[in-house]
Amino acid sequence: MDVISVSGLYKRYGSVIAVDSLDLHVEAGQIFGMLGPNGAGKTTTVEILVGLRERDAGKVSVLGMDPVKKGAEIKSRIGVQLQTYGLYPRLTVKEVVTLFSSFYKKPLSPDDVIEEVGLTTKAKTIVKSLSGGQAQRLAVALAIVGDAELVFLDEPTTGLDPQARRGLWDIINAMKKRGKTVFLTTHYMDEAERLCDKVVVLDHGKIIAQGAPSELIAEHFEELSIEFSNSIDKEQERLESLPGVSRVQFSDNKVTLYTKDVSRTISALMALVQNDSISIDDIVIRRASLEDVFLKLTGRRIRE
Ligand SMILES: Nc1ncnc2c1ncn2[C@@H]1O[C@H](COP(=O)(O)OP(=O)(O)O)[C@@H](O)[C@H]1O
Ligand SMILES: [Mg+2]
């Protein structure tokens, strides 16, 4: 059974259509990613799913219930981290995590959770005095302390330093190992690619692509790229005739070969290098990323 099932979800604020005919399904045990730039409609969707905002139209089922009718019951069975939290400014970290743990039947130990998000040294600090990144990690702690079967994380890593981001990826993977379902929003494509079993790409309130990250990439890009630096423009024809190569692109001092057969292309390229003593540097083989998919579908990069 789907843990979350949405069809034809629609929400507008005045003349702004925030969510437009959204259909999505999240299976139990998945890390599900909703990807999109600022203003795409991610937070509005999360708020509707967790029962904080009413929808204008469409069907929504979360853990088999409609958030409009069974909001309280849903809230007792989910964990939620939102971008804007009141967070009880005068309570300490330990107090607020303990308070949230008391809302659930079988919570985790507040101390363990505080440690997991790296706030042990701040346990006695009042919330008001935390830095932005620390407050963000506290918000994640509040989402996971209930050990709920379904956890919503709305851009949990925005504004975190790289180390804290990686720490959070570990936490999310650990939740999955314990059988939890995670609904994650992000505008970091690399994060989604790494973590998510399935993603939907949202733009202007509409889903423009969905699937497993690797499937989505494979669907839009068959070739891998071999990129190296050198100015060997004169070799264009010979590079184009290398086995597997479908396209050759020159820009600045970089040459990019697009190929469906990396190993044959590489061996032929190396032979060319040896025979003609052409030197090439900084070879990078990379596959297309979700970022490339977004760029291809919208003509824009996701980072504003
Ligand atoms: N409370 C609100 N009142 C009016 N417009 C809003 C409100 N919340 C969001 N919006 C608008 O709805 C659109 C979607 O916003 P949001 O769901 O916050 O997107 P995201 O989380 O992807 O950045 C944006 O155009 C935003 O300006
Ligand atoms: Mg948002």
Could you say which of 181, 212, 243 is where a domain stops? 212
Q: Whose CA is nearest to atom 6 of ligand 1?
A: 13
Q: Whose CA is nearest to atom 1 of ligand 1?
A: 13
Any ligand 1 atom below 6 A from CB of 39: yes
Q: Are residues 149 and 232 in the same domain?
A: no
Any ligand 1 atom below 6 A from CB of 186: no
Residue 206 lies in a domain: yes
Single out the residue of 144, 139, 137 nearest to residue 121, CA to CA.
137
What average pLDDT does this structure show over 82-108? 88
pLDDT the model gives residue 249: 77
Q: Are residues 191 and 228 in the same domain?
A: no
What average pLDDT does this structure show over 203-229? 89
Residue 39 lies in a domain: yes
Q: Are residues 227 and 207 in the same domain?
A: no
Any ligand 1 atom below 6 A from CB of 18: yes
pLDDT the model gives residue 86: 66
pLDDT the model gives residue 232: 60
Q: Are residues 199 and 257 in the same domain?
A: no
Provide the number of structural domains found in the chain.
2
- pLDDT bucket at 257, cuts 50 / 70 / 90: confident
What average pLDDT does this structure show over 109-123? 96
Q: Are residues 205 and 234 in the same domain?
A: no
Write out the two tokens for 112.
């363990």
pLDDT the model gives residue 286: 85
Choose between 58 and 254: higher pLDDT. Answer: 58
Choose between 81 and 278: higher pLDDT. Answer: 81
Q: Are residues 48 and 179 in the same domain?
A: yes
- Name residues whose C-beta falls within 8 Å of residue 51's C-beta, 6 or more positions apart in sequence: 62, 67, 68, 71, 74, 75
Dump pLDDT digits (tens) for 13-34: 999 999 999 999 999 999 999 9
pLDDT the model gives residue 293: 83
Q: Are residues 6 and 61 in the same domain?
A: yes
Q: Are residues 120 and 194 in the same domain?
A: yes
Q: Can you tell me the distance from the alpha carbon of 32 to that of 14, in angstroms, rounded to the nearest whole number? A: 29
% the chain with pLDDT above 70: 96
Q: Are residues 205 and 228 in the same domain?
A: no
Is a pLDDT exceeding 50 seen at residue 304? no
What average pLDDT does this structure show over 192-218? 93
Q: Are residues 150 and 84 in the same domain?
A: yes
Ligand nearest the Cα of residue 22 is 1
Any ligand 1 atom below 6 A from CB of 22: no
Q: Are residues 149 and 42 in the same domain?
A: yes
Residue 175 lies in a domain: yes
Handedness of CA 16, 43, 183, 299 (dihedral sign): positive
- pLDDT bucket at 271, cuts 50 / 70 / 90: confident
pLDDT the model gives residue 129: 93
Residue 217 lies in a domain: no
Could you say which of 184, 212, 240 is where a domain stops? 212
What average pLDDT does this structure show over 68-95? 88
Q: For the domain that residue 231 is a member of, what is the CATH number?
A: 3.30.70.980
Structural domain span for residue 170: 2-212
What average pLDDT does this structure show over 198-210? 95
Q: For the domain that residue 130 is a member of, what is the CATH number?
A: 3.40.50.300
Atom of ligand 1 nearest to the CA of 40: 22
Q: Are residues 42 and 129 in the same domain?
A: yes
pLDDT the model gives residue 149: 96
Write out the two tokens for 279.
């030197």
% the chain with pLDDT above 90: 64
In this prediction the pTM is: 0.84
